[in-house]
Chain A
């Protein structure tokens, strides 16, 4: 127990208890790192990413610019750090909305059963036919560029996945004796569903939300890459890749490659952590 009293012992111990292989631990560290960067970006960035030195375009990596500069003389490292904020906040909002709404829909339909259940099931089936990125593009066409409309549209597109998972899990749990016991004792259905049933299935839902976060990040980065999402000068990874494209043809791919590597790294980390959570919950070793 002496280790847990030291300053570092606690988080490291938590990481160890999280289990999984070295890959899972590494991925967790990567995610924690990026979240910290997102929180403290303005203090960490060596320069203002919106400030371009026109005499210093396409500088290579060096002491002045750790990851070089882009075609407008902007410091790529600083833009990468500041871009972490929008790049993570967007998917967070998508997953938050989709998970909360999905839990509500899934719990309600499974609890209610009958025609409501089958009707909502059909509606969700139809929503599956609308891919998230397409719905986000349609939202931009209707409401204009930016993050708000696409985030809401993507939450609608991700909702069926959570709703179906929660519905399935709830239907399984509902018939177990402990639920009947609570009902016999006269507890209100809302109480039993939210306070007794939901906590039991929550870890599985969170594992899925983790994987969804990675996909939502990809979709939003793609939207910004197309020039329809986050608009410059707001720093964003997808928008950075979009702006670095022209430089790629001039043989200067660094300012596009750096944010691309960040996107891939974060998505791999989210997938590894989410799947390892899911595997452990399902009781199988990968």
Chain B
């Protein structure tokens, strides 16, 4: 690599990271100020349904600096968040960080297994759909994609629970399980329910990206020169088609994190998603705010990473991005 493109790549990476920092700052400000959209006094809002004494209210006002000017309040809050201090949960009588930390592993396992399913099954089905286009298999893939994209996770959860949990009894229908194997056994159905919609989207993008690449001249040339079809598809078609797939994958992150609320609630699992629903129901706004912030931040960070990794998969993107 000559120094100039390397420098350009580094410069564009730095620009992307700065953009990410700005976006995170703005989103955190939006999430922070959402509290002040709520009707009534913010201090009273934070302890709704708990009838605090005037003294306690005064403590809360002081704790949250509600008498300080708005920018100062934001600064204190941001300072706390950056040090992992998201405030205190009134529901659990713990710090929000502790509450979230206890439930994070279960959600990460669920999202991890679902991501694996989406990446492996989704991409493989898309490849098959593109290569077998026009045949019965190809049409079946198209039908699966259309229906799959319209099956929401709560419907998938009901069907899977009813069929494989209650009727056949192959999988547990409720809870997280204990121990490694039991946890994995418990996470199978929820992970499938979580991944159906997103799998359909990934399959669709893979299929159309593969079809676009298959029509390219260099693929035709390679095939007509007698290179083995398998190698051409793997090295020239699939590799080029992966770029759009990774980009779409990044965009799916936030949808998946929000859908954990549905899937975890449906399967009675304890995780970040079911915690979000519980805390909305039981009026623990501090926890809700922290989860919203984390989901949005995860989306921003993952998509910046995708932008940074994209040129490594497809060098053409890096050149175009740097030139802009």
Where the two chains meet, the residues of A that have a C-beta atom closer than 8 Å to any C-beta of B are 125-126, 129-131, 133-134, 137-138, 140-143, 214, 218, 221-222, 225-228, 238, 241, 244-245, 248-249, 251, 253, 256-257, 260, 263-264, 267-268, 271-272
Contact = CB atoms under 8 A, between A and B. Distances in A.
A226 B146 contact: no
B258 A131 contact: yes
Closest 6 pairs (CB-CB, A-B): A267-B150, A253-B162, A260-B155, A268-B150, A142-B38, A131-B254
Contact of B166 (A218, A238, A248): A248
Contacts, number: 121
Given A129-B23, A134-B292, A271 B261 contact: no
B296 A129 contact: yes
A253 B154 contact: no
B38 A245 contact: no
Contacts of B258: 131, 133-134, 137
B288 A225 contact: no
Given A245-B266, A263-B155, A268-B150, 16 more contacts: A130-B30, A131-B254, A134-B292, A134-B295, A137-B258, A138-B292, A140-B280, A142-B35, A142-B37, A245-B158, A249-B165, A251-B162, A253-B162, A260-B158, A267-B150, A267-B152
Contacts of A222: 152-154, 259, 262
Pick from A141, A142, A227, A268 the residue with the most CB of B within 10 Å: A141
B277 interface: yes
Interface residues of B, number: 48
B254 to A, nearest CB: 5
25 contacts: A129-B23, A129-B27, A129-B296, A131-B254, A131-B295, A137-B261, A137-B276, A137-B288, A141-B283, A142-B285, A214-B150, A226-B262, A226-B265, A226-B277, A238-B154, A245-B266, A248-B166, A249-B174, A251-B167, A253-B158, A260-B159, A264-B147, A267-B150, A271-B146, A271-B150
Interface in B252-283: 254-255, 258-259, 261-262, 265-266, 276-277, 279-281, 283
Contacts of B299: 129, 131
Contacts of A257: 158-159, 162
B282 to A, nearest CB: 11
B152 to A, nearest CB: 5
A221 B265 CA distance: 14
B38 A143 contact: yes
Contact of B288 (A138, A226, A248): A138
A218 B198 CA distance: 14
Given A251-B166, A253-B162, A272-B146, A141 B295 contact: no
B51 interface: no
Nearest to A221: B152
B18 interface: no
B158 A241 contact: yes
Interface of B: 23, 26-27, 30, 34-35, 37-39, 146-147, 149-155, 158-159, 161-162, 165-167, 173-174, 254-255, 258-259, 261-262, 265-266, 276-277, 279-281, 283, 285, 288, 292, 295-296, 299-300
A126 B154 contact: no
Contacts of B255: 131, 133
Nearest to A259: B155
A277 B149 CA distance: 18
Contact of B261 (A226, A241, A251): A226
A271 B149 CA distance: 9
B154 A134 contact: no
A241 B281 CA distance: 18
A138 B288 CA distance: 7
B36 to A, nearest CB: 10
A264 B30 CA distance: 34
Contacts of B150: 214, 218, 264, 267-268, 271
